[in-house]
Structure formats: structure tokens, C-alpha cells
Amino acid sequence: MRATNEIKAVITGGASGLGYATAKSIVEAGGKVTLLNLHKEAGESAQASLGTNALFVETDVGSEEQVDNAIAQACEHSGEINLVVNCAGIAPSKRVLGRDGLMPISDFESVISTNLNGTFTVIRAAVNKMQNNSPDADDQRGVIVNTASIAAFDGLIGQAAYSASKGGISSMTLPLAREFARIGIRVMCIAPGLFRTPMFDTLPEKAVTALESATPFPSRLGNPDEFAAMVCHIYQNTMLNGETIRLDGALRMN
């Protein structure tokens, strides 16, 4: 098992929700993190709360140039990077045939660009640096953990774009794991169910209770630190590779 205090991570969407919880867990274990986030104020606040082992870089994951620059800064901050956690994403809900007419193609493309293309762009830049890391006892040089969603498999009405983006993230996990095996980089994917993130803060308590009751067990929203614990376990357990793990309390959306 690899020690979590050796983690030198890049976390997209790291200023809030699942990303911040993961960053906090890593820093508390003695690791270093670089937070890639689009919102400057939230990113600076997250960096301040995490201390000197954290660096914030304002980044649009849809921009190849910005991502390349952020990865370079992460390597300078930590010396190297051996873990990437892709949490950045958007989750709009919109019908293709809505009351206001057809969904514009630009709306679909926006979700794909941020969620799927953004994840790939970060992976591409990160593995280019990771391949130069010194291998450990298992000849491992790094770990990639992507975030899909149970919507990749159980998408609801209005989630065509979101489900397509998350399905793509899950689907590229195995081919990337196979490709990067030769340089000792593992690729895993987590598909969370309903987790208590800032998105739920705007919902009335009655709506949250209804969502919680839909999860067989435990009948509650997931806690972000439970997602973080899964990321840390994936990092530590070298046999986990090329797979998507549903982290959802047996929830199946319908």
C-alpha cells in the first residue's frame, strides 16, 4: 500500500464539493495538492484554508493552454505529480424537446467540452509529466482518478448531455489504463450517486429528504469525505485499474 503522505496531487474542481474534500484529506495526511478551479475567489479561499501544502491555479479545464500552464505550476509546487483527480464539471438539466423549443447544439457542446473534453485535456497534460516520475516497487509512476456519475448508466429525462459526458468519461477509463500501463500509470473512475455538495444547498429540505429516501442504504446523501476516502484507497491499492466504481448506496435512478 502506498502512503497517502506521499501524494502530490492535481485536483480539478478542487475549491468545493468532492474536489475540496479530497484535497483536504490529502493535505491532512501530509500530501501536497494543486487546485485547478475556474472561480478565483473560491479557489483562493480554498488555498488559504488548506495552508502551504496547497496551491490554487485559476484554470478553465476546457482550455489546453491554461491546463498545460496549471500542470507546469503544479510540478513546480510539488516537485512532481503522482495523482490527478478530475472533479470539475457542470450538471445542467435540459430537455431536447423543451417548452421553449429545441435544445441548442451549443448547450450540448458546452457540457461535453467541460466534463468530457476537460477531463481528457487534464489527463493528457498530466501523463506527459508523470511518465518522467521515478517508478515505485510496482513500477508505478502515477494514478488518474476521474469522476463520472451514476447518470452515465441511469440517466434521467433532461440529462442527455450530462449522461453523454459522464458515459464518455467512464468509457475511456479502460482504453487509457491499457495505453498507460507501459509507463506505469493507472486510470480509475468513480461514479458517485447523490452526494451533499453545494448543488444541494439551494434545495428545500423536503426535496433533499425525498432524494435521500431513494437510496436503499444508507438512505442519505453521500458525504464528500466518503468520496475522498475512495480516492485515497484507489491511490493506495495498486490492483485497482481500468474500472469504474459506483459509489451510490445501491441507488438506481428511474
Q: Which of 162, 180, 195, 227 is catalytic?
A: 162
Selection from 13, 23, 108, 105 nearest residue 61 by Cα: 13
Q: Which helix (H) or strand (E) holds 247?
A: strand 244-247
Type and span of the H or E element at 234: helix 224-236
- The DSSP call for residue 116 is I
Which one, of 168, 174, 136, lies nearest residue 153 by Cα? 168
Task: Determine the Cα–Cα distance for residues 142 and 248; give it in Å rounded to an integer.
Answer: 26
Q: Confirm whether 20 is a catalytic residue.
A: no
Residue among 122, 236, 229 at smallest CA distance from 169: 122
Q: What is the spatial distance between Cα 193 and Cα 190, in angstroms, rounded to a whole number? A: 10
Cell digits for 202? 439551494
Angle between helices 17-28 and 224-236 (to 10 degrees): 50
Q: Which residues of 227-244 are buried (b: 16+ CB within 10 A; e: fewer)?
A: bbebbbebbeebebbbeb
Catalytic residues: 162
